[in-house]
Structure 1
Amino acid sequence: MAAPMETLVAKQECSFSRSFDAVKCEGDCQIIYKLRCDISDHLIRFKSGPKDKHVSIPEGLLILYRAGLFTVENATMKMTICDSHRDKLSTQWYRCKRTCAHPLHPKTSKEKPDRGITLAIAKEIWVHDRTITAVGDGLCRSCVERHKKTYLTVVDVQNDIVEFHKVAMNFHEQNINRSEQMVPCSPCFSPATYPSEDYVDEMNPDAADINSSLQIYSSGKFDK
């Protein structure tokens, strides 16, 4: 039986290379839905973790949120990310500004942040006025109160976490089914070679959605 599709290495273009062109693409690409490890401890160190300490945040979801992609769906979950962009959007970033990044922070205020923007706050800002604020950026105490009074739509990040794992599992099961059905029957593939996930995606009508996802859900450039 052929090896599961997830174990096959495929040459893929980083989906974040254009919108985050300040970072040069380097290393191999991973697919977002495969990045399921818990990175909650990293967020807690920046005081940006969820209120419930038992909630596990998958790495792929943090990457999407920090990129301004707040919708978990097939197109965004199938996006690819290279090592350098993964570092920048996942766990190798740091808070380079010592000012509050909340849109409601008065320009004349000199109050310093004492915590970081959480996933829920970042999405609530986006839902309210389509402004992208990176998870982990500084947040002062006064803006926490301003946020509660202004952004009345409360976001439950747990729903996105559940959806992330649900979509990831669906893709995983599809890959296993495809690999089990795959039998080399023509000279196109040698006995030791099987079609890559890239090859499958090219035949999938959803593949084109990946390249346009950043333009649909995000705007601007990552300037960190």
Structure 2
Amino acid sequence: MAPLICWRCFPRAWLCRGARRGPGRHYRAALCAELKEPLAVGEVAPRPVLPHEVRVDVHFCGVNFADILVCHGQYQEKPHLPFTPGMEFSGTVLEIGTDVSTVKEGDRVIGVSHFNAMAEECITDQKTLWQIPEKLPLREAATLPVTYGTAILALEHRAHTQPGETVLVTAAAGATGLAVIDVATNVLRAKGFWKTPRPLVSFLMSSW
């Protein structure tokens, strides 16, 4: 779906988790200290989880268009500097708040965060966190909340796509465009027509 790299190779299209760290210790995070400037990796002090929150050991984090916009000050939400970008992630639960009942420590999860997931750990509300099956790799799972969520919202809830219909994707070189192709053809059984670089088209066709 998108390039995958290790944390020490950051910053490119993905952030890969390194060694496991527990709550209470400083952790590394990508920091936007100045808009339109490269991100820096720094040490961040963890904060306590609130009763409804969950601390997650982040393994993989997706990089979305919104992350680019927010780091340029062009997103509708403008976090105070410095901040950590990153909206969707996968990982394992490190700690839960006193009122959390949906997950427990050690669970494999995917989630949506409020621009703080490009880090070794993040805290999010239990309502934006979901358990995933053991057989689903964390790498692939990281794109489900935002990337595939956007594709499903567009195709099913907005376009009401039906089997056999033709879906035109005018920008199929990014993560969301590729997710739209995947959902349209393999889930909704529609016919796909898209514009994307020729080498990628050849790869997709050979994969299917």
* TM > 0.5: no
TM-score bin (small chain): under 0.3
| Higher strand content, 1 or 2 | 2
Rg larger in structure: 1
Greater RCO, CA 8 A, separation 6+? 1
